Amino acid sequence: MRTPTEMIVGLVLCPCGLLLTLTGTLAPGWRQVSLVPDQPMDVVWEQGIWDICRERQSTHDRLCGQADELGYFEQVPVRVAQGLMPSSLVVTLVGLVVATLGVRCWQPEPRHLVAGVAGLVLLLSGLMSLVPSSWYTQELWALPAPPGSTLSVGYSLVLSYLGSCLEILGGLALALSFHHCCKERRAPKLPPTPVTEAGSCTSRAYSNPWDVLEDEQDGRRWGSRPPCDSDL
């Protein structure tokens, strides 16, 4: 049996979303702070949920591990992102394992119920990463920053958004497997045919009625099945 289209879509989108979310979680680029007073014009501060980096664009010198003098990491949106983003990655991995067991490309029949459950797990993981990304975006200009500086959205935040959306779409695609599961449960089961219950008939062809009588006598004698009426 061919793998259903929704399963293929789910198994393509969810790993891509996992890679994007992983990059957005680890990279320190959720917010960029530029034009900082008392700093060179080409200095840009990149703030993530784990680290703060200082980069000079003219020389591409980059130094991470900067001190958090304004209490950036103490803010609630950053703390929530530190908790939900890694949790989302773990849930995504669990969902992909369950999806692999449900799709079972090496077997003739997929397990629609298991694939549907995997879709719900991956949908949950996408929502878990979408919530902190959205909250951080809403509070981006309210988080502590040097007065007079320019704030902008970083690439890590964009990648987190894209990864969350891909996981949600992939989870929804896999959740459509519940439809096939319901169709299999509602499908009527046909009763066995009388030929199957009585057993198979002899396939010998007869040229006259005397051969039929001889086979019937042999059947009574040896306990074999009688010939079919269609052989006459």
- The pLDDT value given to residue 113: 86
**pLDDT tens per residue, the chain (232 residues)?**
577 788 888 899 999 999 999 999 999 889 999 888 888 888 999 999 999 999 888 888 888 888 888 899 999 999 999 999 999 999 999 999 999 888 876 666 778 788 889 999 999 999 999 999 999 999 999 899 888 888 999 999 999 999 999 999 999 999 988 776 655 555 555 455 554 444 444 455 555 555 655 655 655 544 445 555 544 4
153/49 Cα distance (integer angstroms): 13
- The pLDDT value given to residue 196: 45
Using alpha carbons, list the distances in angstroms from residue 61 to 54, 98, 163: 8, 44, 29
- The pLDDT value given to residue 219: 53
Structure tokens at 198: 């009585």
- The pLDDT value given to residue 159: 94
- The pLDDT value given to residue 62: 87
3-state secondary structure of 117: helix
Cα dihedral 208→211→216→222 (10° resolution): -160
CB 216 within 8 A of CB 227: yes
- The pLDDT value given to residue 179: 74
Contacts of 109 (CB under 8 A, 6+ apart): 1
125/87 Cα distance (integer angstroms): 8
Using alpha carbons, list the distances in angstroms from residue 111 to 60, 99, 103: 52, 9, 6
Cα–Cα nearest to 112, from 181, 174, 170, 14: 181
- The helix (H) or strand (E) run that includes residue 31 is strand 31-34
